[in-house]
Chains A and B, each alone.
Chain A
Amino acid sequence: MQMTDSRTIAASPEMVWAAILDPEVLKQCVPGCTEMSGSAEEGFEATVVQKVGPVKATFKGTVVLSEMVPGQSLTLTGEGKGGAAGFAKGGADVKLVPVEGGTELHYDVDAKVGGKLAQLGSRIIDGFAKKMADQFFSNFQDAVEGPKPAEADGPDADAPQAEGGEAKKGWFKKLVS
């Protein structure tokens, strides 16, 4: 499946770029991530627990960053194996464009699933992948700039909010500013 979207983050491209390369940020942002280690240079290793329709599994996988143009663009490629549940893999091409009030983050995601995930979850996998991407980038936005109070009333009210939602600034922004 493929999806394309963008969102504007109230932070400079440099700050967004630094956040993307931080394993702690990624751990906070990947929905269901329980472990994340490694570095932008070496690649990350992650453990993610997710439930796709009737299939719940622990995925162990790797995320590699490539095509890195600092402050402008990069490609994330990941693959996770969920044992009997099958596998998921995919990539995202991310572009950062400075705009008024911050950075526009564009992403093109291409994801694939296999094994039991495909067999049992094919009807719901597109929606699931979109939800995962939305959550990831919402979490990312929150981590960088802090959540908007009005969002709780929006259509994505059920989407999990990042920890420390009351802070005006995102925790990452606080950390580096």
Chain B
Amino acid sequence: MPKDHGIGASPKRREDVRFLTGAGNYTDDINVHGQAYVHFLRSDLAHGKINGIDTSAAEAMPGVVRIFTGKDFEGVGGLPCGWQVTDKHGEVMKEPAHPVLAQGKVRHVGDPIAAVVADSLEQARTAAEAIVLDIEELPAVVDMNKALEPGATKVHDDLSDNLCYDWQFGTDTETTDAAFKNAAHVTTLELVNNRLVANPMEPRVAVGQYSRAGGDYTLYTTSQNPHVIRLLMGAFVLGIPEHKLRVVAPDVGGGFGTKIFHYAEEAFCTFAAKACNRPVKWTSTRSEAFMSDAHGRDHVTKIELALDKDNNFTAVRTDTKANMGAYLSTFSSSVPTWLHGTLMAGNYRTPAVQVNVKAVFTNTVPVDAYRGAGRPEATFQLERVIDMAARELGVDPIALRRQNFITQFPYATPVAVEYDTGDYEATMAKMEELMDIPGFAARRAASEKNGKLRGLGINCFIEACGIAPSNLVGQLGARAGLYDAATVRVNATGSISVMVGAHSHGQGHETVFPQVVAEMLGIDESMIDIVHGDTSKIPFGMGTYGSRSLAVCGSAMVRATEKIINKAKKIAGHLLEASDSDIELKDGMFSVAGTDKSVAWGDVTLAAYVPHNYPLEDIEPGLEETAFYDPANFTYPAGAYACEVEVDPETGKVTIEKFVSADDFGNVVNPMIVEGQVHGGIAQGIGQALLENCAYDENGQLLSASYMDYAMPRADDIPHMAHYVVDHSCQTPCTHNPLGVKGCGEAGAIGSPPTVVNAVIDALHSGGHTHVKHIDMPVTPSRVWAAMNSQ
């Protein structure tokens, strides 16, 4: 029977009460007395030299407080990149300056040129129209291949070219080449991982505030990680020490990665609040979000798979170009390298894996982590080339994968990571059961009767989550530790506030984290609240991304709760006149083992704060503990996904008829929330596979900057819930964190795109269109129709 409380139960999300009744407190809901508003004048050219900015007419306009340009920011730092990648020649990556407001040149459509602060937003916008720009248009580089050609226009004049780094990783070239030379079969595939815009429901907002009395700054911002913003902005951009800078990320309406990064607008509002001696607020419009939120993906890859005569994988070699955009966003450099290359072994015991990545500057919006970050790109290319190999060899794609699965754990891959645990056969078998693979032939026949082509797509994936062991990532170039922290504050009456470094912006931490503490203490979940999102309230935290919240911050919370239990047992031992080693905690009662002597949780907590009868000589009053937790390894969620599509041969339209995921997330705290995460992730992956594409023209003009041109998935693009089956019953608990959890936030977005494309190709082959080897995402009706009719 399912549990009704604690770990394994599915209480409804307590945060939803405020979200669904309009009682959320988002950054745009925050209005500070006397605030002014900023409007950013953004470049409508992709590349240009700034010869002059005349703000004199605009400054004289009504309501204008002050107008800022790049000159005002010459004395402060640029936006930093948090990860220094070292290339295959031992050289560190090129790291161009990234000013808060453009200096000298504009480098992408949306690059902020000037900022008008005024009494009202309308006044700021009107005044911005009166700024006279003298910008000389320069040729733009958009295509990565053209950007790397000798003599190409340089995005950054002070760099030698547009190559940020040329990275190689995994098996050495000699061994890899030999494996390909000796292969019985080689499958080669060139593909594009389409550029995406994250599009969280809430656009970004920042409110900067400065108090002259104490010299204190406060920044309210839409962030997944307020402490990271405090660190990056305080230390690298504005030079504000931590104790003078409070960063608050209140309710945040979705992040999907794009709210991890430190953005110019945050630094601007903080800086301008002091310069204007007034709070300064910025709320992004949706149009601005398209051209200023970091984009995702945008890889172009050639992947080769070598197999021996028995169809065992012997080598994988990839050659990827990754678009960085015009500047390095906070974690941009790590995405195509350490978050991507380390996953290229997939679920398979391929002995040789070599990954090559060239990161390229172009005149486009910066590209950074987006749900999955590097791992979807790895999974897509590997699972597409395996599917293609199965087709070329005439073998069953499930059998080919199964034959090559890693079965022994721990398993050290040729790409540096060690999978601690997993059972890929179990998830594959579960997927087959839920998909009813034997019934597919009949379903295909039924579709054909209706004039449709039906395809079955299979995909396996592995991800490295629970980011990340600090000593390891430090060696790889990370400029921060990636531990997390939690403080468990037990109040006198026994209620608890848990201050956590993880930020919740849709994940449901406020529901899940109390389930864990309640389970450990045997008390009711309603006695426990989570506090997050405010650097003045929580001890420290590296935030929420990389499916890390429960695995890393949750582990810190477990460690802090263990400290609480240890201390509470000492207090209980004193009250019960017994040795604390004999005290047992069960269902909120401390009892002496083997006796009927006990004392309740509330009596112990009261004693801690009213220490009249208390071992003051041994322990301090109070009951509050903090723990920092640094993971020993990544976690490795894995799964097997399948989907069935119907293709209309007349129009090329693809509909997803059924989607099944069988995931191994290790232990699961709240099954309902895990299922919601996977449903959402798959929907985003379906969006990438069928609909979404961020398009630029050859001059660097952004063409898809509204929902008229950027197609987000809608309810009727995903299967009916009865055919949208997410399963997490296969559980091999993580071996190195106390909860045995692996993380579930990104799995759906990683596993689903190749599943969909594999299914579409399968459908087309069933209809005799065997010349179609691959279709790049998004697999739109026009692309499918063109592929079908390309012969």
Contacts and interface: CB of A to CB of B under 8 A. Distances in A.
Sorting the interface of chain A by its residue count into under 10, 10 to 19, 20 to 34 or 35 or more gives: 10 to 19
Interface of B (DSSP majority class)? loop
A64 B117 CA distance: 37
Contacts of A114: 44-45, 109, 699, 701
Interface string A85-96: 011000000000
Nearest to B698: A112
B716 to A, nearest CB: 21
Contact of B705 (A83, A87, A113, A119): A119
B465 to A, nearest CB: 35
Contacts of B44: 86-87, 114-116
Contact of B125 (A84, A87, A112): A84
A50 B697 CA distance: 23
B51 to A, nearest CB: 15
Contact of A119 (B45, B128, B706): B706
A164 B544 CA distance: 68
Contacts of A21: none
B709 A123 contact: yes
Interface string A112-131: 11111011101100000000
Nearest to A122: B703
Interface residues of B, number: 20
A119 B287 contact: yes
A87 B704 CA distance: 17
Contacts of B248: none
Contacts of B129: 83-84
A83 B695 CA distance: 23
B47 to A, nearest CB: 11
Nearest to A125: B703
Contacts, number: 52
B125 A120 contact: no
Contacts of A84: 125, 128-129
A54 B707 CA distance: 13
B663 to A, nearest CB: 38
A119 B703 contact: yes
A54 B706 CA distance: 11
A57 to B, nearest CB: 10
Interface string A146-170: 0000000000000000000000000
Nearest to A118: B701
A118 B703 contact: yes
A87 B287 CA distance: 16
B701 A116 contact: no
Contact of A122 (B45, B128, B704): B704
B673 interface: no
Interface string B208-222: 000000000000000
Given A116-B287, A120-B708, 18 more contacts: A54-B708, A84-B125, A114-B701, A115-B44, A115-B701, A118-B697, A118-B701, A118-B702, A118-B703, A118-B705, A119-B109, A119-B701, A119-B705, A120-B705, A120-B706, A122-B703, A122-B704, A122-B709
Interface of A: 53-54, 83-84, 86-87, 112-116, 118-120, 122-123
20 contacts: A54-B708, A112-B699, A112-B701, A114-B109, A114-B699, A115-B109, A115-B701, A116-B44, A116-B705, A118-B703, A119-B109, A119-B702, A119-B703, A119-B704, A119-B706, A120-B706, A120-B708, A122-B695, A122-B704, A123-B708
* In the complex, the 9 A-B pairs of residues with the closest C-beta atoms, listed nearest first: A115-B44, A119-B705, A118-B701, A122-B703, A83-B129, A86-B44, A114-B44, A114-B701, A120-B706
Interface of B: 44-45, 109, 125, 128-129, 287, 290-291, 695, 697, 699, 701-706, 708-709
